[in-house]
Amino acid sequence: MKVAVVGTGYVGLVAGACLAEIGHEVTCVDNDATKIALLNDGGLPIYEPGLEDLVPKNVEAGRLSFQTDLAAAVRAAEIVFIAVGTPPGADGSADLRAVEAVAEGIADALDGYKVVGVKSTVPIGTCERVRAIIASRSKQHFDVVSNPEFLREGVAVPDFLRPDRVILGCAADEARERMERLYAPLTDAGARLITMDLRSAELTKYASNAMLATRISFMNEVANLCEEVGADVESVREGMGSDKRIGPYFLRAGLGYGGSCFPKDVKALLRTAQTYDTPLRLLEAVEQTNASQKERMAAVLLNEMGADLSGRIVAVWGLAFKPDTDDMREAPSIPLIRALAQAGAAVHVHDPAAMHTAREALGDLPRYFEDPYACVEGAAALVLVTEWSLYAAPDWARIAATVVEGRVYDGRNLWSPAEVRAAGLTYRGIGRR
């Protein structure tokens, strides 16, 4: 099938490359000419494992192309996906200007029946708004479907190619049949396609992310209680996760969630609930817990090391909000580094992928190191923020020889406390005994 994907961010680029991989002819469109030029030159505007192989492979096969001409892409396509950003506004609601602008562009280019699929994460009722915009500008026959994505940054490619489910909000038989043909290579391989109405599909996306955010915040509160009562959150997590009704996923304590999805989607869902005068009090608490959790590690360091860190180095391993991405949006490393710098510390940082995006977020506030061991030389403390596999089994003897005060703070409970202490270092995790 011929497909146009509007937007070449995390959602659009991954969707476009993966749809090409399963055999469709895909044109990715973006109004950022610099980004399109980069893609046409063989570069990638984002770091996402798997894309470095998938994109050139499908470009060479003639199934994937990039351009700025929205009208031409729409006219050539059977299905047009809207996959542009919906950043939060000042009140937490999703900014839909980009979605609406694309809808206008699609309407002006329609020359026959098209299915317009909304992959952007949008508030309830947005697909109806898209339909109204197009109908007000075009007399052509079309249908709008909601087809939210459920891609995790860092594993987005396998998530798309081997999904738990494909959600389709759709009322028209013609549109549903076309979407079923699009996803046939995935459903034939065992993926489940779930069809529902537009508003239910839109809410499914928000509710899914809100549930995962709730699990994270719940375990962070349990971890904080563990520290007070002398329990170990890793033992608690194992005991809870072995219950089939609960399961082990998203139960790891840490420094709070970040990224482009959970914070934005929680805020947007709360804003929608306020609009309909139906408060989501549990979700309000989830957001508050996450905000306080991001500040907790800095408070622990300042309590143990003193409020004035002038003349002392604190090394931070990991900057991105999670491993296998360069995304710094809402990353817990940002408030931590700012708090340490405000206390007078010289903050040394390392990340295998997010150094360039960290510079955009933090400027010259920390000092950046290309080598993780050079980063910790002369440091009073080492803080792990992001659980990259690179950091999973460090040389503790080497670290002990260079971390002058021997302090190790494990913000993701990645390391064995016994191994750290055996090297002569002090260990502090999240909710660990």
Residues annotated catalytic, as ranges: 261
SS3 assignment, position 49:
coil
Q: Residue 11 to residues 66, 189, 303: CA-CA distances in angstroms?
A: 15, 22, 41
Element (H, E) at 204: helix 198-229
In the 8-state DSSP scheme, what is residue 383? E
Q: Which of 84, 79, 113, 111 is nearest to 98 (CA)?
A: 84
In the 8-state DSSP scheme, what is residue 152? P
SS3 assignment, position 233:
helix
> How far is the C-alpha of 417 from the C-alpha of 429, rounded, in Å?
8
Q: Which of 194, 205, 70 is nearest to 127 (CA)?
A: 205
In the 8-state DSSP scheme, what is residue 191? P
Q: Which of 1, 104, 49 is nearest to 13 (CA)?
A: 49
> How far is the C-alpha of 420 from the C-alpha of 424, rounded, in Å?
7
Strand order in the sheet with 426-428: 367-368, 346-350, 313-317, 381-384, 407-410, 426-428
Total residue length of the chain: 433
> How far is the C-alpha of 77 from the C-alpha of 237, rounded, in Å?
48
Asked whether 204 and 212 are in contact (CB, 8 A), the reply is no
In the chain, count of helices (H) and strands (E)? 18, 14
Beta bridge partners of 14: none
- Distant-in-sequence contacts of 58-62, Cβ < 8 A, 24+ apart: 58/17, 58/20, 58/21, 58/26, 61/20, 62/25
CB burial of residue 33 (10 Å; 0-12, 13-18, 19+)? exposed
Beta bridge partners of 117: 81, 145
Identity of the residue numbered 219: M
Identity of the residue numbered 32: D
> Tokens standing for 263?
């914070």
